[in-house]
Amino acid sequence: MREEIESIVGASAVDERPVHDLWPHGIMEGRAGKPRNRVLVARPVERAHLSTLLQLAGANGFNVIPMGGATGVCGAVSPSIGELVLDMGGFDHIIEVDETNLICRCEAGVNGMTLEQHLNQRGLTLGHYPSSLPGTTVGGLIATRSSGQESSRYGNIEDMVLALGVVLPDGTYAAPRPGLRSAVGPALHQLWVGAEGGLGIVVEAVLRVHRLPEATIGNGYAFPDLASGLECMRAVMQAGIRPQLMRLYDAEDTTFNGYDLGAGECLLVIATAGLADVAKAEAAAVKKFAGDAKDLGDAPWERWRRHRFDLSADLLKAFLEPANTFLDVIEVAGTWTVLSELHTRVKTAIGVGPLALCHFSHAYEQGCCAYFTFGGSSETEDGARAAYEQAWEGTMSAALDLGATISHHHGVGRARARWVADEMGGWVWVWRAVKEGIDPEGIMNPNSIGGVP
């Protein structure tokens, strides 16, 4: 098979090696001695390569896993022996930035930070800032249905995608459709936003971009408890303010971030942005909504900005390097009325080690994402894995019981596969029909939502 793949992309664009994303469970398994699979990795550079490779896979019955920056945290890039990984890094052209209509066209392998910097140089922004941005690709950001630090202002990736060019599993190409929006049937391209490589390969994206704000005003507030901080966030969103950043840390996460506030106090970092007068007026409104919370000035915002990309892959790997340690993050989301209970229940579930933190960000008028971090160590690898599994089980059950989603933005991969049917309910049949209709041979990434259920 290698020879046939080489004949399509060239011998120098194929190698054999272990590849995997940053799923902590996978890292823990590797550390405990489970060998990483060596698989063929091809680096196509033309759309025709993708079509021919997918046709080859269909004819020979092997699976294909598209790979961007491999920064995913759910094990969607964790191939089994015999599966072919497609490194999308060769599709790295920013095709056009239309500065009048604020539309950008680019290929799927473009690095997320490279694209953002390219736009910034023109006074523009995509407004999509996952903490992992420097390691990501546009295709990966789309395929995982990702969300960035400024989502309360700019929305999530699905709000930015105007159209997609996709190579379908049979090798045919569905080109980006015209228009800002169309009533010619459902927005079918949205099926690929979150499909985790399970429905084909995204090769091109047409993205909505924005002008950089004239001014940004950031501030910190200390709330006496979590409930009052959440109430402030709700008031801000429901007043129609779209803060560039709004992040509330629970008391433990506040302390973990190095803030020596009063016992139980929770830090809110918030920034308003836009025309200078608007940003100023909105900052004044936020202060009113913050009520009696302590005004900490702009230092927390400045500090947050300096450290916004500190949570890196290297840090994650370094924490998980010593034997018997465990660490992960789980992001769920629910309406304002369930968030306090969700927080209480998940904090109990993840209290399997000394590190059990939560912050709230990615807010909507209806609710918010709750992002939990947990970690610790055990005396054995089995003990570490048992604690890790316990935290995940408890968190997923709490979310499902309370009608919250089990994932706000990291996706499914291998990590959440067994809970998907519980969340989807009757939509499982719809998803199955989509998958079977588009990928009848089942060649596309089985280690993802594409392999479920």
> Nearest to residue 66, comparing CAs of 446, 420, 353, 414?
446
Location of structure tokens 């409930």: 227
> Could you tell me which stretch among 6-14, 30-38, 65-73, 338-346 binds ligand FAD (CB under 6 A)?
65-73
Residues 293-352 that bind ligand FAD (CB under 6 A): 311-313, 316
Decide: helix, strand or coil at residue 300. Answer: helix
Distance of CA 48 to the CA centre of its chain: 29
Decide: helix, strand or coil at residue 202. Answer: strand
Q: Is 28 in the site for ligand FAD (CB under 6 A)?
A: no
Among 64, 65, 346, 355, binds ligand FAD (CB under 6 A): 65
Q: Is 136 in the site for ligand FAD (CB under 6 A)?
A: yes
Residues 79-98 that bind ligand FAD (CB under 6 A): 88
> Could you tell me which stretch among 51-59, 70-78, 339-347, 425-433 binds ligand FAD (CB under 6 A)?
70-78
Q: Is 52 in the site for ligand FAD (CB under 6 A)?
A: no
> Nearest to residue 5, comparing CAs of 70, 47, 50?
50
Maximal CA-CA distance, the chain: 69
Please say whether the dihedral angle defined by the alpha carbons of residues 183, 185, 186 and 190, taken in this order, is positive or negative.
Answer: negative
Q: Is 147 in the site for ligand FAD (CB under 6 A)?
A: yes
Residues contacting residue 173 through CB under 8 Å, at least 6 positions apart? 47, 51, 165, 166, 167, 203
Residues 167-196 that bind ligand FAD (CB under 6 A): 196
Q: Is 53 in the site for ligand FAD (CB under 6 A)?
A: no
Among 56, 73, 110, 124, binds ligand FAD (CB under 6 A): 73
* Total of chain residues touching ligand FAD, rule CB under 6 A: 40
Give the Cα separation of 449 and 100 in Å (integer): 37
Q: Is 71 in the site for ligand FAD (CB under 6 A)?
A: yes
Q: Is 19 in the site for ligand FAD (CB under 6 A)?
A: no
CB-CB contact of 3 with 54 (8 Å): no
CB-CB contact of 45 with 9 (8 Å): yes
* Residues 101-130: x where in contact with ligand FAD by CB under 6 A, - otherwise, as a string: -------x---------------------x
CB-CB contact of 226 with 263 (8 Å): no
Q: Which residues bind ligand FAD (CB under 6 A)?
A: 21-22, 65-73, 76-77, 88, 108, 130-132, 135-137, 139-141, 143-144, 146-147, 196-197, 201-202, 311-313, 316, 409-410, 445, 448
